[in-house]
Chains A and B, each alone.
Chain A
Amino acid sequence: MSPEPTNGDLRVGVFVCDCGLNIAGTVDCGAVTAYAETLPDVICAVRNKYTCADPGQNEIKTAIHKHKLNRVVVASCTPRMHEPTFRQCVLEAGLNPYLMEMANLREHCSWVHPGDREGATAKAMDLVASAVAKARLLEPQEEMEVPVTKRALVIGGGVAGIEAALELADAGHPVTLVEKEASIGGIMAQLDKTYPTMDCSI
């Protein structure tokens, strides 16, 4: 398949993370960085030791300013962990947070293919290419804000539920505690003495 036509306005930066040896121990991060530079609209590709640490994030911000990047790809770990981190990072550099895309080179690659450097590196390149392909089509998005009703529901009136409800109420929040039995107390109310202090349960 031929790549999408190059759009002169697109300026993608790719940041490949070693994650110490977590990724670099298995994936040839240098080769992945070099490959990223060949992808359409990629203006710069940078390799970091720890992209999520301050120096790594600063490098992203610096590159955004220096190269006038308008799309960012972070090739590091799972977006389920650090997507909020890097969205915040590009936001601080003046980019809309939705112009950042991640490639998961750690949980989905280096950690599961430790014996296959070649295979893992090829896979990492594809994951970066995939993220760049998406990044080129990303658009800025505005998040909607929805008010939160200032009341909490606690389901279950055992020791955990009672404690949570009291804590919330002490903090000034209205709380509704629901319990299926006729009394709160749960299983703990049926115990005699409790460890480690041998005091009564009730």
Chain B
Amino acid sequence: MKLGIYPGCSLTGSARDYNESVFAIAKACDIQLEQVPDWNCCGATAAHNMNKELSLSLPARILAQAEKAGLTDIVIPCAACYSRLMVTQHELNNDPVLKNRISEIIEMDFKGTTNILNVVQMIDLYVSPVLKEKIVKNFSHKVACYYGCLMVRPYKVLQYDQHEDPQGMDNVIRLLGGTAIDWGYKVECCGAGLTMSKTEIVGMLSGKIVKDAARRGAQAIVVACPMCHSNLDMRRPAINEYIGEKMDIPVIYITQAIGLALGIDEKTLGLQRHFVPVKMAEYIPPVPESKKQKAKEPTNTI
């Protein structure tokens, strides 16, 4: 199975762990990931805040590059990039004049035919079907799946999952043998682009999220977006300041959760790169014993 991938800038830097875990689970499930050649930054929040044409041209170039390379399906692990590229393709496909104009700007043909997948869609299509046979350890944890904004909104464009109560990651966690809690901040914003310029606001927004997950007894917050991850993990000092208490609930990527269940070692999954220490692996009992230990820990089997 071969898929295109657009990693986006953070996956080469602060979200290196995400990148590593995406590639690790892809490898374990025989998915070949081929990068979009010579990809550029999608422009993220900055571009559409400042300049509309720029905010459409940057993603359009990426998509045009993918088209040129014959990559019909591309997976975009970063939720922000996923949203930007989906919105761009949608807007340009619905406005032929604008499409021409942007094609002229990027000096490339842009057809708008790429099938764009977020990471959970990739998992649903190519990982979940083979999970049962490949799991070596149950991921027997109670976790809060956090989707944030950009994986589910704007829902009329993305058309992914139930936008108020998405279940994509929850279902994956259940497949892994874990429990996904129902909580109040699944799709609330973490503060995203204000991480540098208004860190105290990010502390407040992310703080509310961490607090709600922790008080409902989640052992970890599971994410699928590098921005959410860095706000909930790296910005933990600001969060702690807002809450007035030191929170030690770790934040892991959904791909890391899968990786742990597949028996991939922590280092390959980049877990050592987190700011809030992740000690998930220690709790995980091997599958055959999971039934025996059931009395000790309330776990779900697959």
Do A and B assemble together? Answer: no
Residues in A lying within 8 Å of B, measured CB to CB: none
